[in-house]
Structure 1
Amino acid sequence: NCAAIPKELLESELFGFEKGAFTGAVERKLGKFEQANGGTIFLDEIGDMPLDLQAKILRVLQEKEVTRTGGNQSLTVDTRIVAATNQNLEERVRQKEFREDLYYRLNVVPIDLVPLRERSEDIPLLVEYFLTKSCSEMEIPVKQCTQEALRLLTDYSWPGNVRELENTIKRAVILSSDPMLTAGDFSGLRRSSTTASRSEELSLEGLVEMKLRSSLDNLDKMETGDLYGLVLKEIERPLIRFVLEKTRGNQVKAADILGINRNTLRKKIQDLDIDVKKDL
């Protein structure tokens, strides 16, 4: 887990170290890449990896070589890398927080795991699995959920995805003394669902208005300026970028969808500083 290990330790954990490389290095230690030679290494939360360490990961991918901390000998490794992140790496590349060359090296067979709220049909199976797991860990008979409780769990939006679901099930198992979990055992979800559904019921206009109200609370204290132009620019940029993404950069098709002239679209791309090749 690249986010859980301190930056100072992550390098030696991945590449190993030689005896005497630093205080406490009383013997040689093989890194994860050497240990996984001929197999697969899973780098979780790679989006949080420091930039200087990203360069060394790139070397492993390109040269298939590693050098232990404190060593001067290059070691050949044949290791397949599987990486995961909950961050938008394309956005981090644009912000210069993730190496572009490493991103394209890793992005060979991407698998986008959609949020749990978009695959609600998986929730009953996951609930059953986590109930069995939690009860097994506590060494108690396996509990079940009533249909009402299962409907509540299925309808909830789960912003924390599977981890949130697992913790919710575990908490209910711990706090309830009954073999059957009811909707009352998940009362916290009922309040959250009400708030979430209120936002989901809003139209696009309603969502924009809600965002404007929260962003412009101190409007009466603002000086005169081009507020209209600023807000319009903030809306236009993501709209045009989204349409260009969906049309794979085809500006003629994008202009038709937007209902504007192609020359107008080209000018807006320049004015709004939208780098078509970089963004798509």
Structure 2
Amino acid sequence: MDTILIVDDEKNYPLILSAVLQEEGYETLSANSGPEALAVLAESDVDLVLTDMKMPKMDGIELLQRIKQSDPELPVIMMTAYGTVEKAVEAMQKGAYNYILKPFDNEQLILYVAQAVAMYRVVKENRRLRSAVASRYSFGNLIGKSKPMQDVFDTIRKVAPASATVLIEGASGTGKELVARAIHFNSPRRNQPFVAVNCAALAESLLESELFGHEKGAFTGAVSMRKGRFELADQGTLFLDEIGELSPALQVKLLRVLQEKVFERVGGMRPITVNFRLIAATNKSLKEEVGRGTFREDLFYRLNVVPVVLPPLRERLEDLRPLIAHFIAKYADERYGDIPVRHVDKEVERLFHEYGWPGNVRELENVIERAMVMCSGDTIKAEDLPKDFKQNIYKDSVLKLDDLPVQATLYETLAFVEKEMILRALRKADFVQAHAANLLGIGKSGLNQKLKKYGIDVAEAAENR
């Protein structure tokens, strides 16, 4: 519940304000003077201060300045009589969130309060994330000893101190947002906001308002001005996930913001200047989208300053063990402290290595968490794995022998099985021959010989997958 501190030397106003705000679901505290308000703030978590302008001992402006010294982002709304509006404007210039005239209109008061509290929630969330930097985002949630992941870590270390735009490409579930957060929290902007937007989650009209913000009355339902993600990310980092889903119209508008660092809110005319670092992510190949004409080439080059490609889990199976240990530790400590799970047995490891992991690291985490709930001892066994996962493993591992002639000789049967195993390995490796050879336990030259032997055209097989 959000807490509001009401400061006024008149006894009636705090009582009236408390009644109005408590009816809206807020918790209220009160103080009769500036010094008393500072004492309350020192002992309580407060999300908004409503203070009168004219008070003995310490007026509203002095109280505002004292508050901003200890917490520059805590919103303060000034209450003032008509005759002191100039003072209220001065307070706004010194950091007050807004001001309201006495006697106040309840609806206007509730609106201002809701806006200020919502803004401060974003501030608190960013503070919470910043406090987790050391344990969570210094590559802590990015697990991997494999060469592809070590290359990713090396890129993060090099790019984090700069302000260059980063484009992260990788399939769903590979950890694109974790990379974005790692870059931000290891950069000079670490103490500024990290603002994330999923471009695929909102309709075009809603996404435009989400990014640019809107002015009051810009469209039906726009009852007040709202800052967009560009403004909220000012001086920090803006993370645009699934950027390949942007419509052509929004691509043009985003390009202008990246080029000029200036935009207008929806329904507004005033240019707003921002300074943020952009990190974009996509599960598509934007270069291919450019070739198809669905993504602007000039925007692609603006985004692709520093590319980071995240490999799918099937291409870094040597990371399975550290990932498994990481997720077991995470859920044993965070959610299931009474469950003593600490290991997986050899059969589970074998099944994990045989599986193609279409959902990548996210799927592995889900399987581990569900297995921990079902496990009755300290070691996850095959019977603890989710039923649907075991069915997927079965589908992934069974060879299709339907086309094998009933009267096939032993040689013909072995040749048929070998060809099917090669095709299965190619599918699991997404038709990357080096990875398929690794899955088969043979060298790439050995795989090439067998491809020629069985007349397998890899490109054709990929098209007919």
Partner SS state of residue 84, structure 1? strand
Structure 1 stretches of 5 or more lacking a match?
Answer: 216-280
Determine whether 1:62 maps to 2:259. Answer: yes
AA at the equivalent of 1:115? P
One of 169, 175, 179 as aligned partner of 2:378? 179
Following superposition, the deviation at residue 155 of structure 1 comes to 3.8
AA at the equivalent of 1:109? V
* Counterpart for residue 353 of structure 2: 154
Q: Residues 61 and 127 from structure 1, CA distance in 2 versus in 1: closer, same or farther, beyond 3 angstroms?
A: same
Q: Is the 8 A contact 2:375 2:381 kept in 1?
A: no
Following superposition, the deviation at residue 182 of structure 1 comes to 1.0
AA at the equivalent of 1:94? G
* Counterpart for residue 141 of structure 1: 339
CA distance in 2, matches of 1:101, 1:179: 54
One of 39, 50, 53 as aligned partner of 2:250? 53
In terms of mean alpha carbon deviation, does 7-16 or 199-208 score higher?
199-208
Structure in which a larger fraction of residues adopt helix:
1
CA RMSD of aligned residues (A): 2.6
Matches within 5 A, 1:24-35: 24-35=221-232
Following superposition, the deviation at residue 81 of structure 1 comes to 0.4
Structure 2 stretches of 5 or more lacking a match?
Answer: 1-197, 400-419, 426-439, 441-446
C-alpha offsets along residues 129-170 of structure 1, whole Å, 9 cap, x if unaligned? 222334433554252311331232234221221122122222
Q: Is the 8 A contact 2:214 2:226 kept in 1?
A: yes
Determine whether 1:208 maps to 2:457. Answer: yes
CA distance in 1, matches of 2:263, 2:350: 51
One of 384, 389, 394 as aligned partner of 1:191? 394
* Counterpart for residue 19 of structure 1: 216
Q: Residues 40 and 210 from structure 1, CA distance in 2 versus in 1: closer, same or farther, beyond 3 angstroms?
A: closer
Q: Is the 8 A contact 2:214 2:267 kept in 1?
A: yes
* Counterpart for residue 307 of structure 2: 110
* Counterpart for residue 294 of structure 2: 97
Partner SS state of residue 235, structure 2? coil
Determine whether 1:77 maps to 2:280. Answer: no
* Counterpart for residue 366 of structure 2: 167
Q: Is the 8 A contact 2:340 2:377 kept in 1?
A: no
Partner SS state of residue 164, structure 1? helix
* Counterpart for residue 232 of structure 1: none
Q: Is the 8 A contact 1:132 1:142 kept in 2?
A: no
Partner SS state of residue 208, structure 2? helix
* Counterpart for residue 252 of structure 1: none
Q: Is the 8 A contact 1:67 1:75 kept in 2?
A: yes
Identity across matched positions, percent: 48
Partner SS state of residue 298, structure 2? helix
Following superposition, the deviation at residue 118 of structure 1 comes to 1.4
Partner SS state of residue 110, structure 1? strand
CA distance in 1, matches of 2:398, 2:236: 47
| TM-score, normalisation: structure 1 | 0.68
Partner SS state of residue 81, structure 1? strand
C-alpha offsets along residues 100-128 of structure 1, whole Å, 9 cap, x if unaligned? 11000000000111111111122112112
AA at the equivalent of 1:185? D
Matched positions, count? 214
Q: Is the 8 A contact 2:354 2:397 kept in 1?
A: no
Structure in which a larger fraction of residues adopt strand:
2
AA at the equivalent of 1:118? E
C-alpha offsets along residues 210-259 of structure 1, whole Å, 9 cap, x if unaligned? 967x96xxxxxxxxxxxxxxxxxxxxxxxxxxxxxxxxxxxxxxxxxxxx
